[in-house]
Structure 1
Amino acid sequence: MSVRVETLPRRHVLTVPSEPPAVRLARETAEQVLVEWGIGLRHPTVDPALLILSELVTNSVRHAAVLSPKVTVIYAAGADCLAFAVYDRHPYQPPLYGAVTGAGAGGLGTVMELVMGLGGTAAVRGDADGQGKSIWITLPL
């Protein structure tokens, strides 16, 4: 699946403090925007997408909050694709595809198994200054 996220017609951005309530708020916001965009919450991609999103925001809250007081979630969608990114200002860029086979990969391994199982893609994009990153997930609808 090759999609230029920048070309997707629907977008929503949420920025919240890097604290535990961010996970719930990111998930609730996703549900709200998906409904507004006409993507039913019973669509087979939605539950895995919400789990992936929750895990990525949890990782930012747990591991990046010391350097990143805020986490930003970008939601995007097109006719046949759902995409989202979780952005923080921590420089560590996890090896996404290595998480599936790595020992003790935990939640990131689950994220990647779900992404690959759905035929989606995942990418880490670092900031130009090397001090932050976003993890982009794209899933077919």
Structure 2
Amino acid sequence: MEVRGSVPPEPAPATAPAIPTQTPRPYEGAWRFTAPAVDSSVPQARHAVRDLIADRQIPADDELLHGLLLIVSELVTNAVRHAALLSPEITVELATGADWVRVAVEDNHPYRPKALQADSSDIGGRGLLLVKAITAEAGGMCDVEHTESGGKVVWAALPLPESAAP
């Protein structure tokens, strides 16, 4: 698994009025990598995101870091288990702004998952419910969006700790 580098933010349209902006922090940007839709990609994606957070010095405290890594694990697991047939490769993205961090997993399967209440005897089926709970507790947001290619992106954005804000 190889991180493909920083994705610069899209430039503002030429007709937009000039808005004063602050200098971006060194940790702001977006990084994407692809992985095969196989079980071994779950820990590899989690480790890659953890390493990116450390390497880019993203100001995530322990609680935020653990939440993000659990979200990555759940989203990659869902893509591997439910989308691999139509999407043999998945894309993981980590993006940060001045006061937020976002993780997303993209696959080429058109099915849009929903958080389900699993029966207490079920050993699975709570991944998206867990992602929603972690995101809500942190004061963030999550969603599922269709891609132009007919697949989907499942993402969660969480606020960075107050001490990281400008």
TM bucket, shorter chain? 0.7 to 0.9
> 1: distance between equivalents of 2:117 and 2:34?
32
CA contact under 8 A between 1:27 and 1:54: conserved in structure 2? Answer: yes
Query: SS of 1:28's equivalent?
Result: helix
TM, length-normalised to structure 2: 0.72
> Which structure has greater helix proportion?
1
- Greater radius of gyration (CA): 2
Partner of 1:68: 87
Q: Which residue of the other structure, out of 39, 42, 62, is the alignment partner of 1:23?
A: 42
Q: Sequence identity, in percent?
A: 38
- Offset from partner CA, 1:29-69 (integer Å, 9 cap, x none): 10111011213564321101100110000000001001100
Q: Which of 1 and 2 has higher RCO (CA within 8 Å, sep 6+)?
A: 1
* Counterpart in the other structure of 1:56: 75
Structure 2: 5+ residue stretches without partners:
1-8, 11-23, 119-124, 161-166
Secondary structure at the counterpart of residue 90 of structure 1: coil
The aligned residue for residue 83 of structure 1 is 102
Moved over 4 A (4+): none
Counterpart position of 1:3: none
Displacement, 1:136?
A: 1.5
Q: 1:68 to 1:117 in 2, by over 3 A?
A: same
Partner amino acid, structure 1, of 2:52: V
| More strand by percentage | 1
CA distance in 2, matches of 1:92, 1:136: 15
Q: What is the rounded CA distance, in whole Å, between the counterparts of 1:125 and 1:109 in structure 2? A: 17
- The answer on 1:126 being equivalent to 2:140 is no
CA distance in 2, matches of 1:21, 1:27: 11
